Amino acid sequence: MKITYIKLVNIASLYTGSNVNTLELDFSNAHSNIILITGPNGCGKTTLESCLHPFAYNGSGDDRSSESLIIKKKDGYKEVHITNGIDEYIIKHFYTASGDSSHSVKS
């Protein structure tokens, strides 16, 4: 299985670290199975890495922060494309703000 695309919208740690509301990466034309992601400390590398899965929430992959996945009072979005041979899976999660710090999720 190979991740070919990811889009993240209003992810709290990415906004805190890099002032980025939307991050979209397309790996579909990569010539290698190895992707190198670099940057200064605190810019969101670990957040990006912890979002590279098909699930709605990251779980306990990065326990360094108690920050919510999505920016408070904003809607969020996560889309991941995964290929397995000729099969392609497109997973979309919609995070709708409800209250001050919680979100409802539809996938």
Joined together, the tokens standing for residue 64 give: 């360094």
Q: Which residues of the chain have pLDDT under 50?
A: none
pLDDT for 44: 86
pLDDT tens sequence across 42-73: 888 988 999 999 999 876 555 555 668 899 99
The residues, ordered by sequence, that sit 6+ positions from 87 with a Cβ below 8 Å of its Cβ are none
Mean pLDDT of the chain: 88
Give CA–CA dist 99/92, Å, rounded: 22
Contact 26, 4 (CB under 8 A): yes
